[in-house]
Structure 1
Amino acid sequence: MRLTIRLMLAATCVGLPLMPDATLADPVWDRIESTGTITCGAIPNDKIGSWVDSATGQWEGYEIDLCRAIAADLGKEMGKELKVQFQETGWKTVVLDLQSQKIDIWPGMSATEQRKQALNMIGPMYDLAFCAMDGKTAKVGKTWDELNAPDVRIATVTGTSVEAAFKRMAPKAQHVTLSEYSEITLAVQSGRADIMGADVLRCLNVMQSAPNVFNSVFFPTPIEAMGSSAGVVKSADKLTPWLTDWATTHKADGSIREIFLNVMKKAGYDIGNVPPEVQF
């Protein structure tokens, strides 16, 4: 009797389609595909990163243009043109906004261990080279070996990747760590520090806002950089590998570098300060 029941159940199940494996679903990909819209994060007044153009009312910035480029190629993959919308976020809330799916993607932040536990971190999407800005009267070299000397005073923001990098590359130097870049500018201006250590975007920003304080922007050689990754929700099982391939391809072909240079021009920065070997 039991054998007969088993045979009947087996025969009944033969004609049934296999149920989809729920673990393979990607809610982000599916929502974008069904709605035709991708929602990217945007931080107001983050110059170069994202800002609203007062003349046009449109979002601008490299984070914005990265999202638009991703949307254009993802739309081709899905066989439809995707609309891009931007949702305001902030550094304190961006992880929660991704987890709650208020936004689908944030295209640039450091892949810290804490963020890796909360999100899928993809990339690096781009690299930001470390740079330095010397004071008007400072006499310092332009290589890491020359900066790695007891009489060189380097100012960086406390607790940042920049601070860690300059301490690693120039451990013998005197390191002055302060809470804000405005304080570092004053430290260099007053002669308390010889150079400001930062990343390429910060250097260009500060050079524009305080040209009378600093002599030049330079990139200590050999050039060192920190990577920035894109964040998506952990369940984005289909979007994650697609976006990983996208970042690898467009870093290699130089199109991500072009996005950065174009945005810098819009922001009024002197891209002549960025040598060709800084690739982003």
Structure 2
Amino acid sequence: MKRWLSTSFAIAVACTGALPVLAHADPVWDRIKSSGHLVCGAIPNDPIGSWVDPKTGKWEGYEIELCRSIASDLSTTMGKKIEPEFHETGWNTVVLDIQSQKIDIWPGMSATPERKNALSMVGPIYTLAMCGMVRPNFQTKSTWADLNRSDVRIATVTGTSVETAFKKTAPEATQITLAGYSEITLAVQSGRADMMGADVLRCLNVAKSAPAAFGGIVYPKPIQSLGSSAGVLKSADQFTAWLQKWSDEKRKSGDIKKMFMSVFEKTGLDPSKVPPEIQF
């Protein structure tokens, strides 16, 4: 009897061990596939990133185009039509909206330590080249070595990733941090600062909106870029893996840059001011 029980137990253990291990469910992937919708965050009046076209009532911007492209390629992967859907959010609520599953993704934000603790940060989905808007008559500095001198005064917005990047890349320059870009514009105009430190999107926008306030755009060489990642739910393992592969392929193929150039034309920004060596 004991021998029979022992043998039966061994067989049961062996059979149990042979059972396939069930994969960890991904609530985001499963919901997208079952609903046929990818819910993306959209921030109203976010310059270049996302806005509602008053003529059509449709969302536009590079964040919007990214979501449309992701949905299109998910359709191929999932074997069914996936429609992009846009849910209004804000910079102060986007992390909570992803955690509460009101939205599936926000495709462009800095991967700060706080965000990495709260979300899976995938990317970079795109990169933004660092640039400077210089004051009129400022002798243009074309390299980071030229800028990395105490007699060069660089103004950036306090507490931003741009501030951190400029302080790291040009530590010997005189760094001036101010509350916002309006204050920086005044600092450059008054001669208090030589340059506004920013990223390529900000520089193009300022060059369009306030051309008389600055002497032009400088992209110090070698080109340095800031990465922007997509925030998704931490438990979205399958979606995260797919999105990382998608991002790598799209950036390598140049498709991400094409999206940005298309949006620049829609917003009246001058794409010719972007050097060909700058990618996105």
Task: Give your verdict on TM over 0.5.
Answer: yes
Question: Residue 74 of structure 1 aligns to which amino acid in structure 2?
Answer: L
Report the 3-state secondary structure (helix = DSSP H, G, I; strand = E; otherwise coil) of the residue aligned with 1:261.
helix
Matches within 5 A, 1:145-224: 145-224=145-224
Residues 146-165 of structure 1: CA deviation (Å, up to 9, x unaligned): 11122111111111111122
Question: Residue 184 of structure 1 aligns to which amino acid in structure 2?
Answer: I
Could you tell me which residue of structure 2 aligns to residue 46 of structure 1? 46
Indicate yes or no: 2:76 matched with 1:76. Answer: yes
TM-score for the superposition, normalised by structure 2:
0.94
Report the 3-state secondary structure (helix = DSSP H, G, I; strand = E; otherwise coil) of the residue aligned with 1:201.
helix
Report the 3-state secondary structure (helix = DSSP H, G, I; strand = E; otherwise coil) of the residue aligned with 1:39.
strand
Indicate yes or no: 2:121 matched with 1:137. Answer: no
Question: Residue 22 of structure 2 aligns to which amino acid in structure 1?
Answer: D
TM-score for the superposition, normalised by structure 1:
0.94
Could you tell me which residue of structure 1 aligns to residue 65 of structure 2? 65
Indicate yes or no: 2:121 matched with 1:121. Answer: yes
Report the 3-state secondary structure (helix = DSSP H, G, I; strand = E; otherwise coil) of the residue aligned with 1:212.
helix
CA shift for structure 1 position 96: 0.8
Report the 3-state secondary structure (helix = DSSP H, G, I; strand = E; otherwise coil) of the residue aligned with 2:223.
coil
Aligned-partner Cα distance in 2 for 1:3–1:216: 88
Give the total of aligned pairs.
278
Question: Residue 21 of structure 1 aligns to which amino acid in structure 2?
Answer: L
CA shift for structure 1 position 137: 2.7
Residues 88-147 of structure 1: CA deviation (Å, up to 9, x unaligned): 111111111111110001111111111111111111111000000111132241211111
Could you tell me which residue of structure 1 aligns to residue 105 of structure 2? 105
Aligned-partner Cα distance in 1 for 2:31–2:3: 46
Aligned-partner Cα distance in 1 for 2:205–2:249: 28
Report the 3-state secondary structure (helix = DSSP H, G, I; strand = E; otherwise coil) of the residue aligned with 1:238.
helix
Question: Which has the higher mean CA deviation after the structures are superposed, 157-166 or 266-275?
Answer: 157-166
Aligned-partner Cα distance in 1 for 2:165–2:219: 13
Residues 238-269 of structure 1: CA deviation (Å, up to 9, x unaligned): 11111110000000000000001101110110
Report the 3-state secondary structure (helix = DSSP H, G, I; strand = E; otherwise coil) of the residue aligned with 2:212.
coil
Residues 59-99 of structure 1: CA deviation (Å, up to 9, x unaligned): 00010000000000011000011111100111111111111
Report the 3-state secondary structure (helix = DSSP H, G, I; strand = E; otherwise coil) of the residue aligned with 1:192.
coil
Aligned-partner Cα distance in 2 for 1:272–1:217: 12
Aligned-partner Cα distance in 1 for 2:59–2:188: 34
Indicate yes or no: 2:1 matched with 1:25. Answer: no
Report the 3-state secondary structure (helix = DSSP H, G, I; strand = E; otherwise coil) of the residue aligned with 1:138.
coil
- Closer/same/farther in 2, CA of residues 2 and 201 from structure 1, 3 Å limit: farther
Structure 1, unaligned runs of 5 or more = none
Could you tell me which residue of structure 2 aligns to residue 227 of structure 1? 227
Answer whether contact 1:140 1:147 (CA < 8 A) is retained. no
Question: Residue 235 of structure 2 aligns to which amino acid in structure 1?
Answer: S
Could you tell me which residue of structure 2 aligns to residue 261 of structure 1? 261
Residues 206-233 of structure 1: CA deviation (Å, up to 9, x unaligned): 1111111011112011110010111110
Report the 3-state secondary structure (helix = DSSP H, G, I; strand = E; otherwise coil) of the residue aligned with 2:124.
strand
Report the 3-state secondary structure (helix = DSSP H, G, I; strand = E; otherwise coil) of the residue aligned with 1:246.
helix
CA shift for structure 1 position 201: 0.5
Question: Which has the higher mean CA deviation after the structures are superposed, 55-64 or 141-150?
Answer: 141-150
Question: Residue 242 of structure 1 aligns to which amino acid in structure 2?
Answer: W
Answer whether contact 1:167 1:175 (CA < 8 A) is retained. yes
Question: Which has the higher mean CA deviation after the structures are superposed, 55-64 or 152-161?
Answer: 152-161
Aligned-partner Cα distance in 2 for 1:66–1:3: 65
Answer whether contact 2:141 2:218 (CA < 8 A) is retained. no
- Closer/same/farther in 2, CA of residues 2 and 108 from structure 1, 3 Å limit: farther
Percent identity reads 59
What is the Cα-based RMSD across aligned positions, in Å? 1.9
